Amino acid sequence: MSDSPLRQARWRDPDPTRCVGWLPTGRVTLADFQRRIGAWQACLDTLAEPGRCYALHDRDPLVFASALLALWERGDSALLPADDRPETLAGVDALTRARLGDVPGGHRPSTGAAPRWGTLSAERTALWLYTSGSTGAAKRIPKSFAQLDAELATHRDLWPLEGRLTISQVSHQHIYGLLFAILRPLVEAAPMAGALCRYPETLHAWLAALDETSQTVLISAPPPLERLPETLDWPRVRQRLAAVYSSGAPLPAAAGRRTQRLLDAPVRELYGSSDTGGIAWRGVPRQDDAWTPLPGIAVRADRDDDHLWLRSPYLDSRDWQRQADRIREAGDGRFQLLGRADRIAKVGGKRLSLTAMDRALEAADGVRRARTVVLPEPSGRLGAIVQLDPAGIPIEHGARRQRIAALRERLARAFEPTVIPRAWRFVETWPVNAQGKLTVERVERLFRDRLDHRQPRWLGVEASADGCCHVTLEVPERLAHLAGHFPGRPVVPGVVMIQWTCDLAREHLGVTGAFSRLERVKFPQLLPPGERVTLALEWHGDMQRLDFRLSGRHGCHASGRMHFRAGDPS
């Protein structure tokens, strides 16, 4: 078989009735598709002479594919913006002649014309992709026809499509979707679904609409696979599904097994990146988490710091290249992924530079410092720790919502909704430990209320003197104890405030001994959800007595003294 699948250009075949695009509502033949290529070229002819670069973004796989081929065959190249955010597109404009596709100001194809075929030479740059660089600035990566061809040939030899219909649930603005959902069907003369398949119900209906003998492959990612509903009648349609592919982030083993059980098809995970191309794969079922390098790829772990060293035919250089991921060699040629050594994360399957997000937050009014972190599963979303000017700290629900809305709105200019932080922790002082570090433990402490809905939101502690401290807290809107206390006017019950006080005194002042009694306890002001409060604690060890006062903008919510028995806590 040819090792230059793209340059074989199967879309030029004189095979007018071949199916290129499929939807339950109809199909697109190769003749139709060639006319679309011609129509794009007619549009490009009005814009510039060949040899330019165009920004291309379109959610419709066939519109995207026909535009890409029109550019290549005309002698142009494409730059694929990572998303359609205004700031992303503005950054791309300076590098390109014009925008094509479903973005503001994007050109659309003119009406039908015969396509012109050109020359796709190996070393020519076919396109540029973006990847989030670890410094925070997006990195632009060129791909030559030879590089794309090397990958496409590898995938084709491992898992040939053999005419199966490709159904995609991922964006083709990124390397994985581009290769698997667009270029592979094009070079293997196989059909692709004529739209993105966003929902499991859509997948089910499409499979049901195909005739008995049709076969498909699903190009997917962890977010949709982790959320496949059990309630759809998969056994009725799944014999038409030959394989499932997943990439973008590791698929948890349990989600992999569940996918295989529901869809009864092999699940193959790909590991790689825009800069490196594909590196390795693994299948379900699997005995362990290890990855097998793709043919032609060599992998080893750095002896000192576990960094992945990679030698790949898809890279410009044939030398060993050091990567930011850390690995452990399994001893049989395979390897385990240990995680990133830099601040690049996967959020909802999207690669994101946390440094870039931190900087974007720090550019907002009133923000002094920001640090974003990936929240533990099952959320997997972003949490933000934000130090604000003291005057800007929100002290009640409405102000907090407004502040968050303003930050979200600002971030939405440059980031997709998926990666915008979901949990916000506003602090007055940067929550470092005694060594001046924002540690993993501190970060975990700031978000612990998400895992235990009986706890207050902890926003920092300051020791004022020996045995004394101030703890900043917020009352979570979803606090478990609020439910049903007073209908329509939720407040924190006094007993809960006492429990918080007791717990925080043990945590921060090392109070031990069983609780024995309370005295002089008062609850002067009701405490509703969303309030920001300070808990002042004063421990008199000689008397085993804790003085406390919980106060906020309306004054005191709780105060009193708590006595503890000497000895072990109970």
Partner 1 sequence: MTTDLEHELKQLIIDTLELEDVTPEDVDPDEPLFVEGLGLDSIDALELGLALQKRYGIQLEADSDETRRHFANLRTLAALVEARRTQ
Q: Which residues bind partner 1 (CB under 8 A)?
A: 198-202, 204-206, 223-224, 227, 229, 231-232, 348, 379, 397, 400-401, 404, 408, 412, 416-418, 420, 422-424, 450, 476-478, 529-530
Residue closer to partner 1, measured from CB, 447 or 548: 447
Dihedral, CA of residue 365, residue 81, residue 220 and residue 223, to nearest 10: 0
Q: How far is the CB of 89 from partner 1 (least distance, A)?
A: 17
In whole angstroms, the minimum distance from the beta carbon of 550 to partner 1 comes to: 21
Spatial CA neighbour of 99 closest among 136, 24, 47, 51: 47
Cα 418 from Cα 412, distance rounded (Å): 10
Q: Pick the closest to residue 39 from 103, 127, 105, 100 (CA basis).
A: 100
Exposed, middle or buried, 161 (CB in 10 Å: 0-12/13-18/19+)? buried
Q: Please count the other Cβ atoms lying within 10 Å of the Cβ belonging to residue 368.
A: 15
Q: 3-class DSSP state for residue 349?
A: coil
Q: How far is CA 425 from CA 83, 89, 352, 447, in A?
A: 27, 30, 20, 8
Residues 6+ apart with CB under 8 A from 215: 162, 163, 164, 165, 240, 241, 242
Using the 8-state DSSP alphabet, how is residue 167 labeled? E
CA distances from 22 to 125, 165, 189 (A): 30, 8, 13
Shortest Å distance, C-beta 529 to partner 1: 7
Pick the closer one to partner 1 by CB: 184 or 204.
204
User: Cβ closer to partner 1: 240 or 400?
Assistant: 400
Nearer to partner 1, 437 or 453 (CB): 453
Torsion over CA of 360, 363, 366 and 368, rounded to 10 degrees?
80
Q: How, if at all, do strands 321-329 and 335-340 pair?
A: antiparallel
> 228 or 509, CB closer to partner 1?
228
CA dihedral 410, 411, 417, 420 (to 10 degrees): -130
Report, in Å, the least distance between residue 397 CB and partner 1. 7
Nearer to partner 1, 53 or 404 (CB): 404
16 or 24: CB nearest partner 1? 24
Cβ proximity to partner 1: between 51 and 229 the closer is 229
Gap between the Cα atoms of 118 and 72, Å rounded: 8
Q: How many CB atoms lie within 10 A of CB 36?
A: 23
Q: How far is the CB of 184 from partner 1 (least distance, A)?
A: 23
CB of 477 to partner 1, least distance (A): 5
Between 75 and 250, whose beta carbon lies closer to partner 1?
250
* Nearest Cα to Cα of residue 193 among 160, 161, 166: 166
Identify which of residues 423 and 496 has a Cβ nearer to partner 1 in the complex. Answer: 423
- The DSSP code for 5 is H
Smallest separation (angstroms) from partner 1 to the CB of 271? 21
Min dist. Cβ of residue 460 to partner 1 (A): 18
Minimum distance of partner 1 from residue 289's CB (angstroms): 23
Residue number, 297 or 475, with CB nearest to partner 1: 475
User: Do the bridges between strand 216-220 and strand 165-168 make them parallel or antiparallel, or are there none, so unpaired?
Assistant: parallel
Q: State the Cα–Cα distance between residues 445 and 459, nearest whole angstrom.
A: 9
**Distance in Å, CB of 383 to partner 1, minimum:** 10
Residue 402 to residue 475: CA distance in whole angstroms: 17
Between residues 95 and 451, which has the closer beta carbon with respect to partner 1? 451
Nearest approach, Cβ of 202 to partner 1 (angstroms)? Answer: 5
Shortest distance, position 337 Cβ to partner 1, whole Å: 22
What is the helix (H) or strand (E) element at residue 90, kind and residue range?
helix 86-93
Q: How far is the CB of 454 from partner 1 (least distance, A)?
A: 15
CA 279 centroid distance within chain: 20
Q: Which is nearer to partner 1, 258 or 508 (CB)?
A: 258
Q: How many residues does this entry show for the chain?
A: 570
> CA nearest 474: which of 487, 492, 494, 486?
492
